[in-house]
Amino acid sequence: MIVQQSNKKKLTGGAYAKHLKSLPIPEITEEAYCEIKISYEKDPDAPKINSPERAEKVFRKIWDMERFSLQEQMYVLFLDNGCKLLGWKMVTTGLRASVTIDISFIITMAVRTNAARIIIAHNHPSGVLRESKADRDLTEHMFERLQPFLINIEDHLILTKTGFLSFAGDGIFDRYRITHLCDEYEHLYKSTTGGKPTDIIEDFEMSLENLTEKVRLLERKIARKEKR
């Protein structure tokens, strides 16, 4: 192996500082360096994404199909309260069978775009159209993390070349909502025990009745889907 030595002198101390001062300073313009700007003017022609089928069509239109069969990726659709599309973002690219998600980044994007709802999707390059435990855990974790920001996760789609799976369509989200309602049960119960005034107890019983009815409706909805 031949090692070539450079003829250039090494500058140190004051000589190096003098050299830095002699370098030309590039012109910095407002166009070259500016903060990311977001427009809050709504597009009247923005598509309404109110079904898994419509969401799938949008995802397939924006997806990087050259990587579809090579790597897992996750995309997010940001929606307003009326389910109209505000924008989309490819948030991560992973390996052939896994992907790492930064939920905080998704929350930041949702807040900055003033989104009320989001729909997430990732692909399975293997072609297996079935959710994994990791997929379910991620979705439930996102569901919980978005609640304090009053942002709903409307659906999570898994895409393959030939089809798609919808968490909302398969009743998985309904189970998350039941868990959330059960947490509300516990919170209401704890906040109204220990010699509380009668009117608060009555409010609790009324709220409990409403929550029970919601759970029953969700359970019936799940049962109908499982019969199909």
Tell me the pLDDT tens digit for each residue of 89-134.
998 887 776 678 889 999 999 999 899 999 999 999 989 988 888 8
Distance CA 207, CA 198 (A): 14
Greatest CA separation found in the chain? 91
For residue 190, name the pLDDT band (cuts at 50, 70, 90): low
Share of the chain above pLDDT 70, in %: 56
For the cut 90, the answer to whether the pLDDT of residue 144 exceeds it is no
The length of the chain, given as a count of residues:
228
Structure tokens at 201: 């107890």
3-class DSSP state of 74:
strand
Candidates 50, 72, 222, 218; CA nearest to 119 is 50
3-class DSSP state of 181:
helix
pLDDT the model gives residue 79: 94
Candidates 156, 153, 175; CA nearest to 165 is 156
pLDDT the model gives residue 33: 44
AA identity, residue 228: R
For residue 1, name the pLDDT band (cuts at 50, 70, 90): very low
Distance CA 2, CA 7 (A): 16
pLDDT the model gives residue 110: 92
Write the DSSP symbol of residue 149: G
For the cut 60, the answer to whether the pLDDT of residue 196 exceeds it is no
What value does the mean pLDDT take over residues 188-195? 56
**CB atoms near residue 181 (< 10 Å):** 15
For residue 176, name the pLDDT band (cuts at 50, 70, 90): low
Between 186 and 55, where is the model more confident? 55
For the cut 80, the answer to whether the pLDDT of residue 15 exceeds it is no
Query: What CATH number was assigned to the domain covering residues 52-168?
Result: 3.40.140.10
